[in-house]
Structure 1
């Protein structure tokens, strides 16, 4: 049965949040890129992915006692272009994976 706590990438997110001293949204994305690529649809839009993962990051951090909403908002604002590039690369990797899976 599917539970909101069992979304793809949940374990990677919790591990990052519990083990990292200096938590950052971009740091999480970089560290867990393989998991994020593996759990992303090639048809996704970068803005939707960014929003979804930011909400998850803030929510799970809050459950662990860290209020990171302001920090994540500021980080997303300051690094908007870098995040857009990151997500577009993730989507491209997903498309390649889907393409090669289809060929073989």
Structure 2
């Protein structure tokens, strides 16, 4: 009996539709990464957030964070990272999101 019920539910129109559906979100169209972010960081945040980060610009070795007594900061789609403070880039990238 259980096998018959399972077979009937597996063949239902809803289940057939689900079999063809992908659970993954549609991939972003791959563009050249001109953001300054490492590819794996950029693609990871894009996949988790669903937001395209192609317009983000990272400014390394920036003197701007020191003016705010910070190691790094994000404003709009611009990320400024002080010299040697790249470890803060993932955190700042999420501020952009």
TM-score interval, normalised by the smaller of the two chains: under 0.3
Bigger proportion of residues as helix: 1
Larger radius of gyration: 2
TM-score (normalised: structure 1)? 0.24
